[in-house]
Amino acid sequence: MKISADTQSVIDFLQMVSDNGIRKPIDLAAILEVGATYSQDELVQSIIFTGKSIWNLSKILTRSPDSVAIDKINREFRDNIDEMQNQLRKITDFVEMADVQRFNIVYLQKDLGSMRNIIDLAHDLSILKDAQKKNM
């Protein structure tokens, strides 16, 4: 997918404001470009919200001891992963075949690797959400 200068500027800005850089710049750019090119603002905002939720839940899960509350958080985390996969499937309706294949392999499998890749993307989406809040 061809990435516009405006979208690339957003990616560059996020790279700059992130402490360790963003992890999935190509895929984040594709998602943002779909939103801008195909008027999919609601889908992109939903992906950003879900990504922020996944990132926050993953941080809680890595820092918390086992408890009953953790079971509920785990369920919510898995539900958010499923929701993100559904949202990314919608994104693939708008991107080129090479991007579809990459998204299918990287994010849309039911395995640990896809979950970890979604967490990396969620990291980037969380940075984007934080930047949105600061600029409101």
CA torsion angle 29 40 36 12 (round to 10):
-30
Distance between CA atoms of residues 10 and 29, nearest Å: 8
Asked whether residue 3 carries a pLDDT value surpassing 90, the answer given is yes
What pLDDT score was predicted for residue 62? 85
Per-residue pLDDT of 28-84, as tens digits, reads 999 999 999 999 999 999 999 999 999 999 998 888 766 667 888 999 999 999 999
What pLDDT score was predicted for residue 56? 96
Per-residue pLDDT of 14-25, as tens digits, reads 999 999 999 999
pTM: 0.93
Segments making up each domain of the chain, as ranges:
5-134
Query: What crossing angle do the helices spanning 5-17 and 25-37 adopt, rounded to 10°?
Result: 140
Tokens of 52: 């922020």
